[in-house]
Amino acid sequence: MRNHFSVNTVAHDGSAEAKKAAELLRTELHCRTGKKPQLCLPGEIRLEIDPAISDPDAYRIEGNRSFIFRAKGLRGLVYAIGLFLRRTEYENGEIYLIDDITGSYTPYMSVRGHQLGYRTTPNAYDAWSLTDYERYYLDMMYFGCNTVEHIPSEGTQRKNRLMRYEPEELCAKASALAKEWELDVSLWYPNAEKTLEEALENRRKVFRRMPEINTVFPPGGDPGDLYADEFIHRVEEISRLLKRYHPQAKMFPSAQAPHQYPDWGEVFLREMEKMPSLIDGVILGPNRAMDLDELRMRLPEEYPIRLYPDITHNVRSEYPVHFDRNDWHFAWAIAESRECVNPRPREYRRIHRLTRGYVIGSVSYSEGVNDDLNKMIWSDMDYFGEIDLRQSVADYVRLFFPGSDIALLTDAIFGLEENWNTDPAEGGCIESTCQKWLLAGEKNPELRKNWRYVLHLFRASCDLLIQKRRRFELSLLREARALLEKGSLAQSRAVLQREFDAEYTALRGKLEEYAAFLFQAIGYQTDVARYCGDSWERGATLETIDLPLTDRAYLLHRFSLADTMQEEKRLPYLLDVIHRTETEKDEYYYSVARNGLAETGTMQQGEVYLNFRGDNPAVNNGSAPMSILSVYDNFTFACKVSGLTAPSDYEIRVVYLDKRSEKATRHTVLFNGEILYQGTQFGEEDLDYDQKFLTKGFVSAVYLLPRRLLRGGCGLLELKEDTMGVMFSEIIIKKRGLSDEDK
């Protein structure tokens, strides 16, 4: 279906809500067609308030060649306008309806929102005016969003040069703006104060100033360090104060646990079983005290659960890229870091399906516009439930890129997610994805003024740059290694020092152009010095895009160390460096960075946290090999080992993150259930090895593996630590020598 549709007139029923909605529709159509419809009767589209519709989030569309949009209030009418705009295309000022949009619409989830905190950490929000907030409110509403979450204070009142308002001032003004569009307002408000009295006084000022508050969300942890019973007590007192100023507002504390209290979750549940009347529900998000299914089964049924999904981060997060297997290639994680532009529609649909049965909806964790598509797709799923994902992405394209090649840009968005499925050097669609974005801009030059288009073009260009660099550097490493094997040190170093070609340099220059445009257009902060990014991991891609993503820099660094040695020792040392991780057929090697969790051969128990270090410029400065930059962090680790068939004992070398605690006294290494080591971290350390091959912040330890523990050359290797957890990067199992029985 693709029918020409004329909107020369827009009508309303005379109510203030319908009139405001009609003006919004006229403005949107003017932007897309260059023509502003007349506001008069009769109209091709008529907007009406219908008292028979009881749900403020529901709406109805009736008609054929002309339409009537009906809703309880303004919010529902905005949703109807959004669906209309998402299912229309625009060519030469004409409108084409591509779908039958008539029907009655009721949301799948009751809560559908996103956090837009005005503080220094986000990669865009701190640069916004109220006009920017209003525009973004409407953009999200077009996909069914009904809640915006703000942050009045996080314990500090930090400001940067981009911020035009005090945080609490913006919070109050943004709340008033949300009320104007009938959006619910949630406050993320951590317990940073030392005393209850101080907490109440600070909140009294905020609650009194805010024109609209529907929900307050105090996190239990992340941040927060109150023990669970004290936390619940404080939340109840804050709720009592909240309801004095906003009687209908709800209190939803989160079951996010401070790390220092292992029993926090159990105490939290025990307190909730007392049925505190001043608490209305519970939120679950990152650093959770328990899994969502357990919380729902054990929490009294009277308390609904709201999800706080992290849809903004790629590593060091609740849902890292490839969350179910943690195999996002380290080169992507290094160069694009924690908070780059990250459309992940397929993966977030999977997460939504896994979580939606337990909750009444969600307000996502977001730190800027890098996750713009994710917000819209997540809201679409919250409103409609099981959506056609391609249609939803195409709706995003029709809404935000009017007049463009819809199919081309829809493919281009999916292509960005596909790019990340493998080693950039092996990716087959990275260049074609970038070409799709460039071609769309050639077909519709107006796109070059559209921040969302440039945002995704920036990401596509970053992907291509990473692929080009990785392929180039891997070829240099192959050539340099071959020369080293022949003893040609000078030639090997010269190969590693080759410069990039003009095509690569030009592409790198384009990133600077796109970044400058994005900062001016939407306040997107791609570096720290020029664009006021909070840090290298907060969307500041230009801070990480040039970091080492192969061992080229590491090998050059080792050449420099070799220069300090006697001449006869230089070549042997460098050969040891390039062969460090090589194993024979009857030995074993595992790297979290190189192999991912899927290659352990078993499922890990508990909540695995991938503490990736490669995007930190202070760590990935050329002194570290790529293989140690992904750090596994959990209380336990297990992997199946095979092929250890030599007639000898073995030694197991583990490379750990050098983060110690005096409380960690039961660091345990087991093989086939037998303890190889138990004691303080980390056992028998090999400082000579560390100095020779590793870098500051990492340490290796060696454990004897007797041959008698092997069963057909196989076994289960386990690492455990029940206080600090196990934080390691690499395992190397090599032959130690003949066992006593074979001598």
Over residues 41-93, the pLDDT tens digits come to 888 999 999 999 999 999 999 998 899 999 999 999 999 999 999 999 999 99
Share of the chain above pLDDT 90, in %: 93
pLDDT tens by residue, 719-739: 999 988 999 999 999 999 755
DSSP string, 685-723: B-HHHHHHH--TTEEEEEEEE-GGG-BTTBEEEEEE-SS
Collapsing DSSP to helix, strand or coil, 256 comes out as strand
Is residue 192 within 8 Å of residue 154, measured between CB atoms? yes
pLDDT reading at 155 higher than 70: no
> Is the pLDDT confidence value at 742 over 70?
no
pLDDT > 70? residue 681 = yes
Give the number of C-alpha atoms closer than 13 A to the C-alpha of residue 741, restricted to the C-beta side: 7
| Phi/psi of residue 113, nearest 5 degrees | -155, 180
Q: Give the residues across from 700 on adjacent strands.
A: 655
- pLDDT tens for 619-634 read 999 999 999 999 999 9
What does DSSP say about strands 215-217 and 630-634: parallel, antiparallel, or unpaired?
A: unpaired
Handedness of CA 462, 467, 470, 473 (dihedral sign): negative
Q: What pLDDT shows up at residue 156? A: 67
Write out pLDDT tens, residues 347-365. Answer: 999 999 999 999 999 999 9
The mean pLDDT value for 236-251 works out to 98
Strand order in the sheet with 103-105: 38-39, 9-12, 45-49, 67-71, 59-63, 103-105
The CA-CA-CA angle for residues 121, 123, 128, to 5°, reads: 100
pTM over 0.85: yes
Mean pLDDT, range 671-692, rounded to an integer:
96
Q: What is the pLDDT of residue 738?
A: 57
Dig out the tokens for 709 from the structure.
């523990």
**What's the pLDDT at 260?**
86
- With H, G, I as helix, E, B as strand and everything else as coil, classify residue 575: helix
Q: Predicted confidence band at 273 (pLDDT cuts at 50, 70, 90)?
A: very high
Q: What is the mean pLDDT of the chain?
A: 96
Q: What angle do CA 115, 117, 118 make, to 5 degrees?
A: 155
Check whether 740 has a pLDDT greater than 60.
no
Tokens linked to 694: 């590793």
**Distance from the first to the final alpha carbon of the chain:** 81
Task: Classify strands 698-705 and 648-657 as parallel, antiparallel or unpaired.
Answer: antiparallel
From residue 35, alpha-carbon distances to 6, 26, 545 in Å are 11, 9, 43
pLDDT score of 326: 84
List residues bridging with 45 in a β-sheet: 10, 67
Per-residue pLDDT, averaged over 643-664, amounts to 95
Residue type, 219: P
How large is the average pLDDT for residues 701-716? Answer: 97
pLDDT of residue 696 exceeding 60 = yes
Cβ pair 306, 188 in contact under 8 A: no
Say how far apart CA 339 and CA 118 lie, in whole Å. 17
Q: pLDDT tens digits for 106-120?
A: 999 999 999 999 999
Give Cα 173 to chain centroid, integer Å.
28
Average pLDDT over residues 522-547: 97
pLDDT at 743: 47
Average pLDDT of span 469-492: 98
pLDDT of 17 higher than 90: yes
Q: How far apart are CA 151 and CA 187, in angstroms?
A: 6
With 80 as the cut, is the pLDDT of residue 1 above it?
no
